[in-house]
Amino acid sequence: MREAGRTFPGRLDALDAWTPPWRAQPAAEDVRPGRGSAGGRPAQLLAAYPATCDAMAELVGCEGTWHSSDPGSRGVALAARHRETACALEALPAAS
């Protein structure tokens, strides 16, 4: 009887607006962006122990390769993809 008292509304006029708890929509979570950049300390920790990461990836059936965390390698790849832009930037006089 106590469980019914906690589950159902206490007054008859509240029954029309009542929604069973098992059908109620959960409240939207307040999602906030994480601290720092996406490649912060967690990425540094993973990169510091690649063997552990590889073992875990193998356990869950994930295949992949390690990418360099050096920002210069991304710049080189970008310049290689857009050669005309890289050549135009190279032709600009150096800022003094």
Distance of CA 29 to the CA centre of its chain: 15
Q: Which carries the bigger pLDDT value, residue 94 or residue 44?
A: 44
- What was the pLDDT predicted at 93? 80
Residue 69 confidence (pLDDT): 59
Q: Is the pLDDT of residue 37 over 60?
A: no
Give percent of the chain with pLDDT exceeding 70. 78
Q: pLDDT tens digits, residue range 75-93?
A: 777 778 888 888 888 888 8
DSSP state string for 55-78: HHHHHTT---------HHHHHHHH
73 contacts: CB under 8 Å, gap ≥ 6? 67
pLDDT at 82: 84
Domain assignments of the chain as residue spans, ordered by start: 39-63
Is the per-residue pLDDT at 18 higher than 80? yes
